Amino acid sequence: MGKHSEITKRFLLAAKYQEIQALHHLSSNCRTVEAIKDMIHQLQRERGMSNVFLGSKGDRFTAQRDHQIESSQECEQDLRSLLKSLYLGNHDNGQSMRLLSSITFALQGMDHLPNLREKVSALQVNTLESTNAYCRLIAGLLDVIFEAADVASDPEMTRLLVALFNFMQGKEYAGQERAWGAIGFAESQFDSELCDRITALTESQQQCFETFSNFADAEEQAMWAELANSDIANNIQRLREMICALAKGGDCSPELSEVWYDIATNRIDAMQLIEEHLTARLNKQAELRIKQAEDELRNHELLVASLNNTPAHSGSPFTMLFDASVRGLRGADIREEELSESATLSAHKSFYELIRGQSQRIEEMAGQLTAAKQALNEQKVIDRAKLLLMQQGKISEQQAYRKLQTSAMEQNIRIAELAQRVVQRVEK
Amino acid sequence: MGKHSEITKRFLLAAKYQEIQALHHLSSNCRTVEAIKDMIHQLQRERGMSNVFLGSKGDRFTAQRDHQIESSQECEQDLRSLLKSLYLGNHDNGQSMRLLSSITFALQGMDHLPNLREKVSALQVNTLESTNAYCRLIAGLLDVIFEAADVASDPEMTRLLVALFNFMQGKEYAGQERAWGAIGFAESQFDSELCDRITALTESQQQCFETFSNFADAEEQAMWAELANSDIANNIQRLREMICALAKGGDCSPELSEVWYDIATNRIDAMQLIEEHLTARLNKQAELRIKQAEDELRNHELLVASLNNTPAHSGSPFTMLFDASVRGLRGADIREEELSESATLSAHKSFYELIRGQSQRIEEMAGQLTAAKQALNEQKVIDRAKLLLMQQGKISEQQAYRKLQTSAMEQNIRIAELAQRVVQRVEK
């Protein structure tokens, strides 16, 4: 009576052991995420300088670009070494196929960076082609961060990764906005299309930074609020309005191109501090969670050992079968033997409470995880819905987004909910 | 130019290798799911017989119950051996902590089954207490199926597991309905509460079987339609109506108790055929997917080997950087070098197409997975919303469900969507 079988004890320990393994994998992924954050930042700088170089037909930024390429290459070497040591050491690394596959895709692009750089140096690609190539590589690297967030199973860590992914995605949209603006100023082309693009990218940034704020800590939120209310942000806003005004006609002094580029660059560089705060917290949290879980495993082992030396409880056994807090027959709300009936401490009781506690904690965690992963996927769903509307109605991205926005307002639901419905309706 | 680094090739193979590992884990889980399906069926029978035994103060079903207990014990031994061999062989079994933890909780209950049986034999528990204990154990076992579905990463397999979980949950509600009816008939207690409980369980069954149907194949749908339109189903429906009519007063012949029990049992036994169809398909699919993935790995290895012997392509490299089908700069829809420009077959081109294809397949799979897992979680979300409404408004489960139903109709949204909002509002 009240005896727990050997196999139950072993499963309790196996579950904790696997939690620790999963946290180690997650910790590896956090180190990857940090290295990718650095790589993306270098590529964003290189993309910007390449554009100035191409725009000036090779006159300007030659030395700066060479210097930047060296920095990018150094960063790439670090990233490659890290990826190799983290994921290619063991035959079975226990990692998700999706994460490894996203790394493969990004690596494929990095393999051909030298080729892109040669083309830029020889002025064999135009600004748009070069920008596009860098954007693809950065999108591939961002996908790795997305997968790292999506495969994480610790809610607190997932929340951090969702915040970081959205922040980095927002920063990349800021980089794309800088590129479009620079192209516009360089070619003095200010049409309504450019205004539409800038507006679309501005709105996407807002969405990303909103999701980031929902999952960031107070300090990061404060850092972001400071940046969002800074002179830099105000100046960017003024320049955006100017671009849209120029689309309707008017003159533009050529110096504005440099002003736009510098302010947009200052803004992007300032974002780096927040990224660093997030990754520092991420790695600290990973260490902490591993330590916690290891302590818990030791406690579990001690309890199991003491259980083997403790005679079984003579009264009612501590079991889920008679635990009124466990959902049983639906509609029955009878109170049976309370588990707390015996005030004496018993290893058997602790053992049951441990198992019960673990299963309750998992239920709570599952709810938090679902919420974080839903937020992670929302942007993807909105993007997919936009693409579907663009294909169906032969409309622009901006028009598709307006359509989603209007319908969501009419139906009084969030834009992400509406996008979900659009996708479901089409894919059925 | 056009050269792929060694590390990119190794990541491509590592991703495929990990996919195979994940499929092996999934295949183990499918075998567990099948063994648990059998265990639950035995426990449902044992629960029913124990109720007849307790209801008759030990007069009836003594031999049948003993015989059933033997069958249950045999089934339990099989399940325990399987669990041990599948999950406790290696120190690092690569399984999810959540799955192992749900197994631990169910095992804890099974450890104390002998104690429950002794209490029933000695008439030390009443029908409700005994039913409740069996229900808790079955709920714990169903949780293992839920987790197996939730950790699966193959869309087709996940769909099958979602269908199976919902079917088994529906079957369990049918078992609980049988128990409540039997208690009512045995004690000649027909009040509005009993009618409410039967109605709530009927509606829950409908929900479960609807989700099952959405994810089942044509054959399973036909099997279910046949059962749903059978005499058994019609008779159950007539008896349900009779129970609710009796709540308003009226006589009830004592033979009805046996009729109810037999018809409900026939219905539950008939469901077993569909369960078996699902698990057979599940195990076949697992084998098939492993074989497919292993073939793919071999092809990848051959391609990588031939890549090492093929000189790099002299023209434009096949890379994601210049692939117009990869999303780059937002708003740019320029057509660049098409990848198909060269008609000559090239291992380098195949290599890129492989990587690109894999990343596209993952994106598609992610969408399908999300849809299946959403359906899996909907019932949990509805249950949580009901519980919250019950606690807030001090109302019954049935009233809480009606409230959700009415609000969903008023707002013209699905009940699961409304439940999600209720939960989010409260948990924020």
Q: Which two tokens stand for residue A228?
A: 């969002």
* Residue tagged 């058994």 (tokens): B232
Least confident of A82-91, A264-273, B234-243, B314-323: B314-323
pLDDT at B345: 57
CA distance B40 to B19: 31
Between A109-113, A205-209, A393-397, the lowest mean confidence (pLDDT) is in: A393-397
B408 CA to chain A: closest CA distance, Å? Answer: 13
The DSSP-derived string for B244-309 is: HHHHTS----THHHHHHHHHHHHHHHHHHHHHHHHHHHHHHHHHHHHHHHHHHHHHHHHHHHHHHH
pLDDT > 60? residue B334: no
Q: What are phi and psi of A153, to 5 degrees?
A: -120, 5
Whole-number average pLDDT of chain B:
89
Nearest-CA distance from B107 to chain A in Å?
Answer: 6
Tens of pLDDT, residue by residue over B387-423, are: 889 888 888 878 888 899 999 988 888 888 889 888 8
The residues near A230 (Cβ < 8 Å, ≥ 6 apart) are A270
pLDDT band at A411 (very low <50, low <70, confident <90, very high): confident
Distance from CA of B113 to the nearest CA of A (A): 8
Chain A to chain B Cβ contacts (< 8 Å): 298
| Locus of tokens 């053992």 | A351
The pLDDT score that the predictor gives to residue B2 is 52
Q: Burial of B220 by CB count in 10 Å (0-12 exposed, 13-18 middle, 19+ buried)?
A: buried
Encoded tokens for B13: 């193979």
Determine the Cα–Cα distance for residues B199 and B194; give it in Å rounded to an integer.
9
Q: Which pLDDT does position A339 carry in this prediction?
A: 46
Task: Output the average pLDDT for chain A.
Answer: 89
Task: Tokens for A104, please give them.
Answer: 């493969």
Q: What pLDDT shows up at residue B335?
A: 47
In angstroms, how far is CA B169 from the centroid of its own chain?
A: 8
| Model pLDDT for residues B39-90, shown as the tens digit of each residue | 999 999 999 999 989 988 999 899 999 999 999 999 999 999 999 999 998 7
Q: What is the DSSP string of A102-171?
A: HHHHHHHHHHTHHHHHHHHHTT-S-HHHHHHHHHHHHHHHHHHHHHHHHH---HHHHHHHHHHHHHHHHH
Q: What is the pLDDT of residue A82?
A: 97
Q: For residues A341 and A151, give the distance between their C-alpha atoms in angstroms, rounded to a whole number.
A: 42
Q: Suggest the residue from B44, B101, B397 to mutate for an interface test with chain A (most A CBs closer than 10 A).
A: B101
SS3 state of residue B14: helix
Q: In sequence order, what are the residues at sequence separation of 6 or more whose Cβ sits closer than 8 angstroms to the Cβ of residue B76?
A: B39, B42, B110, B113
Fill in the DSSP letter of residue B3.
P
A335: left (phi over 0), alpha (psi -120 to 50) or beta: beta
Token pair recorded at residue B97: 């902590």
A11–B100 CB contact, under 8 Å: yes
pLDDT of residue A427: 65
Domains and CATH numbers, chain A: 6-292 (no CATH), 346-428 (1.10.10.10)
Query: Any idea which residue has 């079903």 for tokens?
Result: B61
Look at A96 and B321 and tell me if their CB atoms are within 8 Å. no
- Pick the range with the lowest mean pLDDT from B118-122, B137-141, B286-290, B344-348: B344-348
Which residue among B7, B111, B358 sits closest to A3, beta carbon to beta carbon?
B111
DSSP assignment of A240-285: HHHHHHHHTS----THHHHHHHHHHHHHHHHHHHHHHHHHHHHHHH
pLDDT at B136: 97
Q: Do A329 and B362 touch (CB under 8 A)?
A: no
CB contact under 8 A, B427 and A107: no
Residue of A10, A92, A329 with shortest CB distance to B131: A329
Of A91, A103, A329, the CB nearest to B135: A329
Mean pLDDT value of segment A219-240: 96
Query: Rounded to a whole number, what is the distance in Å from the CA of B203 to chain A's nearest CA?
Result: 12
If one compares B141 and A368, the residue with the highest pLDDT of the two is: B141
The residue that leads in pLDDT, B112 or B424, is B112
Section A382-393 average pLDDT = 87
pLDDT per residue over B291-314, tens digit each? Answer: 999 999 999 999 999 887 777 665
Q: End-to-end CA distance of chain B: give it in Å, rounded.
A: 54
* B72 CA to centre of own chain: 22
Say if residues A182 and A54 touch (Cβ distance below 8 Å): no
Rounded distance, CA B88 to CA A11, Å?
8
Closest chain A residue to the Cα of B349, Cα to Cα: A108
Asked if pLDDT for residue B373 goes beyond 50, the answer is: yes
**pLDDT value at position A423?**
85
State how far residue A91 is from chain B, nearest Cα, in angstroms.
Answer: 8
CA dihedral B408, B411, B417, B421 (to 10 degrees): -100
Interface test with A, best of B3, B104, B128, B203 (most A CBs within 10 A): B104
Pairwise CB contact (< 8 Å): A107 & B1 = no
Which residue of chain A has the CA closest to B397? A331
Instruction: State the pLDDT at residue A428.
Output: 57
Given a cut of 70, whether residue A309 has pLDDT beyond it is: yes
Instruction: Find the largest Cα–Cα distance for chain B.
Output: 92
For residue B401, what pLDDT is reported?
86
Q: Residue A315: which pLDDT band, with cuts at 50, 70 and 90? A: low
For an interface test with A, the pick among B113, B135, B330 (most A C-beta atoms closer than 10 Å) comes out as: B330
Q: Which of A86, A42, A10 is nearest to A286 (CA)?
A: A86
B167 vs B151: CA distance, rounded Å = 19
The upper half-sphere exposure of residue A141, i.e. CA atoms within 13 Å in the direction of its Cβ, equals 30
Does the pLDDT value for residue A323 go beyond 60? yes
Could you give the CA distance from residue A92 to residue A88 in angstroms, rounded to a whole number?
Answer: 9
